[in-house]
Each structure stands twice: as C-alpha cells, then as structure tokens.
Structure 1
Amino acid sequence: MRGMQYAELETFLAVAQGRSFRRAADKLALSPSAVSHTLRALEDRLGTKLLHRTTRSVSLTDAGLRLQQRLQPAFAEITGAMDEINEGAEKPTGTVRLTVPRVAAQMVLAPVVGRFLSTYPDIQLNITVDDGLVDSVADGFDAGIRLADQVRRDMETVPICGPMRGVVVGSPAYLKAAGVPVSPDDLHRFCLLNYRLPTSGRLLPWEFSAGDRAVTISQEGPLASNDPDLLIAAALDGAGLAYVTEATILTHLAAGQLVRVLEDWCPSFEGWHLYYPKNRRIAPALKALIGCLS
C-alpha cells in the first residue's frame, strides 16, 4: 500500500469513527479542508460514495460502513504492532488524547502534568477539557477522566484519586444576612447558585443524605452556569449558596472567605477514574500516564 493510500484510509477511518470532519482534523492534526479533500480523493479513486455530508452531520453510506468494518481491525493490528515496538524502547513515545472535566483537570492533572512531561519528553498530551458527557471512542480519544458513575460499563476504569465530597458554602456576609440553614428543607429560603449540566442543560440537583433519609433539592436561583469557577466567585461575593466540590475551595475555606453549611448532610462519593475501552491494548504512553496518576 502506498503512503498516500494509507493516509486516505486513515483519514476516512477518523471521520467514520467521529462522524465529524472537525474531530478527524483535530485527531490527525490537519485542517478540515484537507480532510475533506482527502476523502473526496479516496471516493474518486474507489469510484463510490462513502459518506453522506450535510452542513450539520456526517453519516456513512452502505459502502462506507462496509469499509469501516474492514479497516478498523486492520488498523488496530497495525497500531498494536507499533505499540509492541514502542514497548521495547527505553522510553514510551506517542500522543495520548484525553477528555476530562474542568475540575478533574485542576485536581488531578494540573499538579502532575509538568513532572510527567519532563519525565517522558517523547510523549505528547492532547487534553480536551469538556464538562459534557462525550463518546470518547467515537470522538477519537484514547482515554477519559470522569466520576465512576458516569463511566460506561464497557470501559476499563482505574481510580486516580480517593473519595471526594460536595459541600454547600456561602460567604460570611451572606450567611449573616440570610441566616444558616439547619437542614436541606430550609434551602427554599436561600438563593441557590446552580450548576447547569452541559450535556442535558438541566440543573444539577443538590443531593443530601443523613442516616436513612435522602433529600434532593432542585430549585431555581439567581445564577445558573456550567462554569464552577463562576459559581464560586458569586458565592465569594455574597450572591448565595453554592454546592461545589470541596477540593476546589480549600484555600477559600482556610482563609475564612467561604463557610460550610449542612455539613452533616453532605456525603462523600467515589472520586475520579481514568477510563479506556476494554479489550484494547494499552499504548505505552497511556500506560505511563496511568502509572503517574494512580
């Protein structure tokens, strides 16, 4: 197979897996126009249409689906062979493509990324920060980081941090003016600063438990955002109560800028997990990252 033919097939497979020219372009470090040109050249050479294209979506024709089904195991064999060679090298090389939520990037990646890159100078990390629930395989990622209950069952998971806890916090000035809630039932009297889920657009419910009792609060407030930092900033300015991950506000708690409330009602939960598809050979570069994080 000539180099140009391999590049055409690799480009087609990237588009077929991600159902997107943009995602394929990001994965292959090409421009979307270059991806489109390569696909048209492949279709012209084969004399058949492989993709249905619209301004909003990309789907496979019957011929395109058959080609994808034949190519995927072949390219997996090629990748596996390259990985085996890489395993024999002194240091792993290659690119690791990760999808992670913003809080996970701050908590588990930011403290180690510099040291990791210094230790493995031949590894490139390509990290996409996205709080939405993405299909990591279809979008061309090697692995992702999510909370345990957000990971699909067909994924292998590796815990990379201990239990975490959500906390309800407000500024001293706000609590002095509004009072202090004693139970979740009191929250109807307070301004709630809500996190809006990026994928569904719904407000994230505030979940509490104490003993045998569980309470879920879903209440509109003066602010809703998919940016946790904005909610923290609003709480610091006295706009209301925020329900956030405790680890993200430790400095504010230590400085007395924010105060916990309803502590007895805020349970801990499983922390971040790195995940990747089961039954897939782990590339040495990803294996090195897992070793650094776990």
Structure 2
Amino acid sequence: MNPVHQFKGCDLFALNVFLSVAAHRSFRAAGRELDITASAVSHSIKTLEQRLAVRLLNRTTRSMSLTDAGERLAVKLRPSLSSLTQALQEVDEFQHTPSGTIRINSSEGAVRLVLRPLLARFVRMYPQVHLDIVCDGRLGDVVADGFDAGIRLFEAVPQDMISVRVGGPVRFAAVASPSYLAARGRPAVPQDLHQHDCIRFRFESGALYRWEFARHGVEESIDVKGPITLTDQPLMVDAAIEGIGIAFVPDHLALEALRDGRLERVLDEWCPAYPGLCLYYPGHRHVSGALRALIDMVRDGAS
C-alpha cells in the first residue's frame, strides 16, 4: 500500500494516542492524559496497527512494551507532532484576541525609555494581557529565570536570542554642576578624574561600574573614586545638581538639567554613542500572540 494513503487513513488523534501509550506504557494512564477511556485507547491502537499492517506494541496481562517498529515510529513521530502542534497553535492565535501574561526583565532605565511611553496604549488595546515587568540590572538569563523577553543594550544581548532594535543609539554623559566646576576645575582627559569627586554607580550584582570613554580609537576605563555610591541613576543626576561631584549617566537622564543650566558637560568629546536598546526573546520558543502584539507595538514605536 502507498505510504501516503496509509497516513491519510491514520488521523492525528490516533497517532497522538500511540505516543501517549508509548510514554506511559499503559492504556489506562494514556486514557487519563487524553481524557478518554482505556477501551477507547485500546481500540485506537488496534485500528492504527491494522491500517499500518504492523504490530506496534507487545502486550501481556502484566506488561506492555514497544516493538522495534513501535520504537522507531515513536522516535520519528515525537518531533513531527510537536512541530505540527506548535504550527496549529500559531495559526489558531490569529483567530483570538491576545491574552495571558507576558513576563519582561529589564533595567529600570530601559523600562522608562522603551515601555513607559506605550504602556497605557497597550493596556487599552489588549485588556486580556497582563504585563509582569521586573526591573533588574543584573542581566540574568531570561530563559532560566522564567521570562518571556528582556530589554538591554544590543551589545549585551546573547547571540542565541532574537532581538528587535528599539530607539536610537545610547550615549553617556559626564556631568557636573557649575558650582562644582567653578570650585574644582574641569577635567581635560579621563585620567584627570582621579583628582575629582565622582558619583559612582553600583550594579545590583554588587560590582562597581568603571567609567568607559573613547576618542579617535583610544579607549579609557577609569575606576573613579568619590564620596557617594548609588544604584539609582536619576539619583546620581540629582547628586550632581547638588554639587556633590561628577556623574556619568545615560545622556537622556541629564538633558533637562543640561538645558536649564543646572548641569554642564565635561569630557564631551570622550563620550561616544553606543548601539541602542533591544527587546529580545528566545528564538527556539513559540512566540505567543500577546508577546507578538507587544513586539509589534515596540517596533512601531521605534520606527
């Protein structure tokens, strides 16, 4: 008999029943998993064997095992049915309103830049979606930690992830108040920072951030010192405004204070731009309709 015709005679449910029996080695256990009776499982297996003209199971009153043909069919069938199920789920989602929970891992600054501008619009458009946003600066493993996606700088995104660029390049700024600069002078090169009071930043991991500068291919990494160490970058800006010292923060956090004169830039030519932020997610995992809706909104907002 033509194998194609054989397959047409074996519906997907019968094949799924066979895989459940192969996994549990029990008609009763397979029936519980599939919510059918043990006799229905037995009938399905018997019909499948008749259509394929081959025995798939060795059955006795005390035990059950797969025949060689059954083992081979199970090994080949598992990934195929898994792929088919995933494909049907993806198509099915086009018929339904996005729903469920999306867990996002990001730094607080990235949330403010990427998600804050669209949160209200997203919630109004997709009322059945719950956003669970965790602000965490440790750059953990989103898959291992149970997140659907994360947001971080492009250069820090793991290579096995799919990333969506959001926003333009990110630039850091070294800033200080006019009163501090009048009293202490302006650093001309990054090494001059060793003679200045600097407002340091500590990651949630506990590590201190080394200030990174670059100019004409020359890179400098400075382990600054100062009277205060913070884990909150907006608070670093406030501390600089108060004249405590020089802060090194993402440019956008200091723009308002720079415009109204409360802060001034220093070492500006040593502060290059870096590739911007990305929303990223594992490529091997099925993307739910809810996450796809968020990705599309983030992408539209970045364009």
More divergent stretch after superposition (146-155 vs 264-273): 146-155
Offset of residue 219 of structure 1: 2.1
Task: Tell me what 2:180 maps to.
Answer: 174
Alignment of 1:1-294 (within 5 A): 82-89=89-96, 91-199=97-205, 201-294=206-299
**Corresponding residue pairs, total:** 227
* Structure 2 Cα separation of the partners of residues 92 and 110 of structure 1: 20
Cα-Cα RMSD:
2.6
Distance 1:80 1:113, change over 3 A: farther
Offset of residue 206 of structure 1: 0.8
Asked if structure 2 preserves the Cα contact closer than 8 Å seen for 1:80 and 1:281, the reply is: no
Q: Which has the larger radius of gyration?
A: 2
Matched position secondary structure for 1:202: coil
Deviation string 1:180-217 (CA, Å, 9 cap, x unpaired) is 11111211111111111222x22111111111321111
Supply the AA of the counterpart residue of 1:93.
Answer: S
Offset of residue 249 of structure 1: 1.8
Matched position secondary structure for 1:106: helix
Task: Tell me what 1:44 maps to.
Answer: none
Asked if structure 2 preserves the Cα contact closer than 8 Å seen for 1:107 and 1:247, the reply is: no
Distance 1:123 1:182, change over 3 A: same
* Structure 1 Cα separation of the partners of residues 81 and 146 of structure 2: 17
Structure 2 unaligned spans of 5+: 1-28, 35-79
Supply the AA of the counterpart residue of 1:86.
Answer: E
Asked if structure 1 preserves the Cα contact closer than 8 Å seen for 2:194 and 2:225, the reply is: no
Asked if structure 2 preserves the Cα contact closer than 8 Å seen for 1:166 and 1:244, the reply is: yes
* Structure 1 Cα separation of the partners of residues 177 and 144 of structure 2: 43
* Structure 2 Cα separation of the partners of residues 291 and 240 of structure 1: 42
* Structure 2 Cα separation of the partners of residues 5 and 179 of structure 1: 74
Offset of residue 84 of structure 1: 3.6
Identical-residue share of aligned pairs (%): 38
Supply the AA of the counterpart residue of 2:93.
Answer: N
Supply the AA of the counterpart residue of 2:123.
Answer: L
Matched position secondary structure for 1:111: helix
Distance 1:79 1:214, change over 3 A: same
What TM-score results when the alignment is normalised by the length of structure 2? 0.69
Offset of residue 255 of structure 1: 1.5
Supply the AA of the counterpart residue of 1:250.
Answer: L
Offset of residue 271 of structure 1: 0.9
Matched position secondary structure for 2:269: helix
Matched position secondary structure for 1:219: coil
* Structure 2 Cα separation of the partners of residues 96 and 83 of structure 1: 16
Distance 1:227 1:74, change over 3 A: farther
* Structure 1 Cα separation of the partners of residues 156 and 227 of structure 2: 28
Offset of residue 103 of structure 1: 0.5
Asked if structure 2 preserves the Cα contact closer than 8 Å seen for 1:191 and 1:239, the reply is: yes
Supply the AA of the counterpart residue of 1:85.
Answer: D
Matched position secondary structure for 1:113: helix
* Structure 2 Cα separation of the partners of residues 155 and 202 of structure 1: 25
Offset of residue 86 of structure 1: 2.2
What TM-score results when the alignment is normalised by the length of structure 1? 0.71
Matched position secondary structure for 1:221: coil
* Structure 2 Cα separation of the partners of residues 78 and 241 of structure 1: 57
* Structure 1 Cα separation of the partners of residues 124 and 292 of structure 2: 16
Asked if structure 2 preserves the Cα contact closer than 8 Å seen for 1:86 and 1:93, the reply is: no
Asked if structure 1 preserves the Cα contact closer than 8 Å seen for 2:188 and 2:267, the reply is: yes
Task: Tell me what 1:19 maps to.
Answer: none
